[in-house]
Amino acid sequence: MLVTDGTRARRTGIRELWDSSIGKKIAVAVSGAVLVGYVVLHMLGNLNSLYGPGGGDARVDDYAHWLRTFGEPLLPYSFVLWAVRVLLLGAVVVHITGIAQLRARSRAARGGHPARRIGRSFSSATAILTGLLLLAFIVFHILQFTTLTIDVTPLREGAVYANLYNAFQKWYFVLLYVLAVGSLGFHLKHGLWSATQTLGLDRPERNQGIRRTATALSVVVVIGFALVPILFWTGALASPSDVVAQASATPVVTR
Minimum distance from residue 235 beta carbon to ligand HEM (Å): 16
- Report d(CA 197, CA 206) in Å as an integer: 12
User: Would you give the end-to-end CA distance of the chain in angstroms?
Assistant: 72
- Report d(CA 224, CA 188) in Å as an integer: 14
Minimum distance from residue 127 beta carbon to ligand HEM (Å): 14
Comparing C-alpha atoms, which of 132, 142, 231, 140 is closest to residue 183?
Answer: 132
Report the residue number, 102 or 148, with the smaller CB distance to ligand HEM. Answer: 148
Minimum distance from residue 196 beta carbon to ligand HEM (Å): 21
Minimum distance from residue 14 beta carbon to ligand HEM (Å): 26
Question: Could you tell me how far CA 77 lies from the centroid of its own chain?
Answer: 23
Minimum distance from residue 249 beta carbon to ligand HEM (Å): 29
Report the residue number, 108 or 216, with the smaller CB distance to ligand HEM. Answer: 216
Minimum distance from residue 255 beta carbon to ligand HEM (Å): 40
| φ, ψ dihedrals at 3, nearest 5° | -105, 115
Report the residue number, 58 or 160, with the smaller CB distance to ligand HEM. Answer: 160
Report the residue number, 181 or 237, with the smaller CB distance to ligand HEM. Answer: 181
Report the residue number, 127 or 245, with the smaller CB distance to ligand HEM. Answer: 127
Q: Which residues bind ligand HEM (CB under 6 A)?
A: 39, 42, 46, 64, 67, 81, 85, 134, 138, 141-142, 145-146, 160, 164, 177, 180-181, 184, 225, 228-229
Report the residue number, 174 or 243, with the smaller CB distance to ligand HEM. Answer: 174
